Amino acid sequence: AQSVTQLDSHVSVSEGTPVLLRCNYSSSYSPSLFWYVQHPNKGLQLLLKYTSAATLVKGINGFEAEFKKSETSFHLTKPSAHMSDAAEYFCVETGGSQGNLIFGKGTKLSVKP
């Protein structure tokens, strides 16, 4: 069965330092991959998506992710964290016959002043 693994349940960084949120997928074929962000008690917002075009994907709010097939990874990065980046981040893959999403367990990002 397909699965998405987010390697860290919680990441804490200082404001202005780089952010790295790790994600590994399991599909053997070229998947569609997404990163979503969820602020407390809010719905999800799409940060970026990979659909087999460029391997380096740029998203909103300065985030980007690189698709590495050899490592089955799709890590999310940002050069400089802002306080407003504190949220839960989900790495997601499309799967199933109807294209439903397979979610990682999420990574909570804390940003210290």
Partner 1 sequence: GAVVSQHPSRVICKSGTSVKIECRSLDFQATTMFWYRQFPKQSLMLMATSNEGSKATYEQGVEKDKFLINHASLTLSTLTVTSAHPEDSSFYICSASDRGPADTQYFGPGTRLTVL
Retrieve residue 1's tokens.
Answer: 């069965």
List residues bridging with 67 in a β-sheet: 74
Using CB under 8 A as the criterion, what x/- string covers residues 42-81 for binding partner 1? Answer: xxxxx--x--------------------------------
Whole-angstrom distance, CA of residue 28 vs CA of residue 48: 21
Q: How many residues does the chain have?
A: 113
For residue 27, state whether it binds partner 1 (rule: CB under 8 A).
Answer: no
What the block records as the tokens of 70 is 């050899």
In this chain, which of 32, 72, 77, 110 binds partner 1, going by CB under 8 A? 32
**Dist CA 79 CA 76 (whole Å):** 10
7 binds partner 1 (CB under 8 A): no
Q: Does 5 bind partner 1 (CB under 8 A)?
A: no
For residue 68, give the 3-state DSSP assignment.
strand
Verify binding: residue 94, partner 1, rule CB under 8 A.
Answer: yes
Q: Which stretches of the chain bind partner 1, using CB under 8 A?
A: 32, 34, 36, 41-46, 49, 90, 94, 98-101, 103-106
